[in-house]
Structure 1
């Protein structure tokens, strides 16, 4: 399938992607950002369908096979789930495998404009590398894709565009908004007047949802007297507001989340120091997979500013990336005709 714009938000926690469906609506989906080495054999699908096949794909990067997809295993025997948490994540083969997985599950084979996002503090450092690596003819085993052009934008701008899609009058040139994207590994913020980013009051730092999961895992390990490595299951339990099942017991994670608030407060304080007083900001737009974890602390930090937790916060950036890419492509085509 050829598509004019394909938007992918390869996050540390989940990989989200969006494209324009034939009906004109935005099609979007996501899967965990886990890329473990592919198993040497598979038993699923055998036994007269007693064992159902998992929705995963084998992606080949530099002759190494990785497994990615919605049904990738959330746990591993010794905690090695294929999660990569580092500032240079976008240069890793894990990142490439996850990006290829998004292309594969969407069924795209030719992309005119691929739109990717980066944490604010990594834009200058890694944007050129992404453009060079993923432009041209790409071969990933099951995924063979031609990419004509790669565009890289700051991640929170995707959420800003998503939030403004049905409220253009609230996002004029003189309307200021603070967009906060709480990701798995980083928290990023963009101070914007209309759609113009204020570089001095925008930034980001390591310290997203994963530091909360690690803190909770440490507290659980203390209470259970055994090491707890199940960060993915802790993440899932918190997102779904369900107990954490551990050795036959359902554990309420709310008390552990409360004990993790100092970590959240530290990140929010750093952001406060950067953005200053928000006397002229119309709203704070909160997005990202960790939005619910940070909402309370952000309300306390900025009590007089309207806080909006964006609908479907995990997918907000990818959908916004798509709109940005479509607008840019339309301008290029218009200029070419002139």
Structure 2
């Protein structure tokens, strides 16, 4: 074997799956790039029972989804899953038992289908902070997704090792790649913190990483590179779903009739894009529900501050990751005007990018260990 081929063969396959309540984030081989390089993608955290009828194949194009087995049934998951949704299908599990559910299993297997690997040396999975602090949940994921996994379509993947980490930790690890942008946030704040000269300076700071997701708002308080577990945590029913549900309830009161669960993704998209919502041929400006939205965000922020347990006076910077940062940034900046509040670039994928760094570092360290005789 040539030296170049041996080098390619020696590169371990490290992959990441971060299953959130709103989106599934993952890493996979980057097409047309050097061996070992990855790209990141995401798809909706929705799993709909598979339609076995021939009608599904009658569309003008094939939808970008997979049928995967979970808990003895088949579920459809993937980029175009909204095409499988009907008015009564929610396709989500917005509860604290999500990580034990068939929907989580289906979404994880869908992510593995997108990776299209036969063997994964190390798979890094993310959990909300409160779930991660439960060792039974960590152990369950490590045992369930290690070994040979049936991912549907006649495909199986062998996963040699599983590593579970708290979701916001990925964002913290990735922060070192954004020092220039972070310094801009520091310079625009009236506080005493000076711009950083290098990424190593981050280790000396007290950093609050906030991850407002679909169902939970997670936070990690990290001092000198170490997680303060007593001042870290998560608030349930404190994420984007709460905002969308509050707008849905206000909109139902306005139109005078119930709106089905399939309306919620439409509201979410309209809020995210700043566009009007169209329902039954009528458009609605969701800007009129601004006070409803602020109230839905202010309560989780208050719960976060309470959960930091009086340590907020030690915070040097606040970093926001996750898919819905803007309103949380504004609320936190209002509460802490002298502390820089930095939103990570492409924040939805920040945790996944950091997990990839963690996984590759673990494999590099393992390769440097002397082998037993």
- Provide TM-score, normalisation by structure 1: 0.92
Of 95, 98, 118, the residue aligned with 1:89 is: 98
Distance 1:44 1:74, change over 3 A: closer
Structure 1 gap ranges (5+)? none
Of 108, 128, 142, the residue aligned with 1:131 is: 142
Partner residue, 1:150: 162
Matches within 5 A, 1:1-338: 4-19=13-28, 21=30, 22-23=33-34, 25-43=37-55, 46=58, 51-73=60-82, 76-125=85-134, 126-142=137-153, 143-167=155-179, 169=199, 171-206=201-236, 207-228=238-259, 229=261, 230-275=263-308, 276=310, 278-337=312-371
Residues 48, 85 of structure 2: 8 Å contact kept: no
Structure 2 gap ranges (5+)? 1-8, 180-197
Distance 1:215 1:74, change over 3 A: farther
- Partner secondary structure for residue 220 of structure 1: helix
Q: In structure 2, how many angstroms separate the alpha carbons of the residues matched to 1:74 and 1:219?
A: 27
Shift of 1:33: 0.3
Moved over 6 A (4+): none
Q: In structure 2, how many angstroms separate the alpha carbons of the residues matched to 1:172 and 1:211?
A: 33
Shift of 1:203: 0.8
Q: In structure 2, how many angstroms separate the alpha carbons of the residues matched to 1:227 and 1:170?
A: 53
Deviations 1:42-74 (A, max 9, x none): 54554xxx7221101000124311000000016
Distance 1:138 1:218, change over 3 A: same
Larger helix share, 1 or 2: 2
Residues 29, 115 of structure 2: 8 Å contact kept: no
Q: In structure 2, how many angstroms separate the alpha carbons of the residues matched to 1:116 and 1:302?
A: 32
Shift of 1:287: 1.2
Residues 158, 316 of structure 1: 8 Å contact kept: yes
Shift of 1:189: 0.3
- Partner secondary structure for residue 122 of structure 1: helix
Q: In structure 2, how many angstroms separate the alpha carbons of the residues matched to 1:54 and 1:31?
A: 13
Deviations 1:232-277 (A, max 9, x none): 1111222222211111122221222432322211111111122235
Task: Report the RMSD for the aligned CA atoms in angstroms.
Answer: 2.1
Q: In structure 1, how many angstroms separate the alpha carbons of the residues matched to 2:336 and 2:81?
A: 39
- Provide TM-score, normalisation by structure 2: 0.84
Distance 1:79 1:171, change over 3 A: farther
Aligned length: 335
| Range moving further from structure 2, 253-262 or 201-210 | 253-262
Deviations 1:85-140 (A, max 9, x none): 11111111111110111111121221111100111111132111101111101112
- Partner secondary structure for residue 177 of structure 1: strand
Shift of 1:3: 5.6
